[in-house]
Structure 1
Amino acid sequence: MKKKQMDSKLALLDIETLVSNYTEIEVELFIGILCVRFMKEHKISKEELFESLSDNIDRLTFTRKYLS
């Protein structure tokens, strides 16, 4: 596994832990906002973000839905 993929998995696990007490809609909005902020701060493209999430189709589908 590439380091970039491992880092993104750990970051997503942290997000899931932080938002575990929120509704599904609140979680989806929160993750969408974090993805956009992450892309801007690290100057990565949507494609690079999708690649780092590609091992989890649910997250990939969600990200494409909100960032397309």
Structure 2
Amino acid sequence: MGRLSIEQQIEIRDEILEDAFPFDWLKGKANDEITKPWQHWKGEPERMEQLTWKYKVKRLLVQLFIGFP
């Protein structure tokens, strides 16, 4: 499985949440994208962030001061 960019992870989260709210948790069947996400979503290398020192510092500051992972 390729690594996923932050934007791609957010898109996947939104897509899952969109399907999860109307889902009948008592009678519904499990979806493959939930139980086996590596088969449904593939990483897009062109969307990966470059791990430069500027990116790492920016990410660390966001995590420390805002509390966003």
TM-score, normalised relative to structure 2: 0.35
Which has the bigger relative contact order, CA under 8 A and spacing at least 6?
2
Q: Is the radius of gyration larger for structure 1 or structure 2?
A: 2
Query: More helix by proportion, 1 or 2?
Result: 1
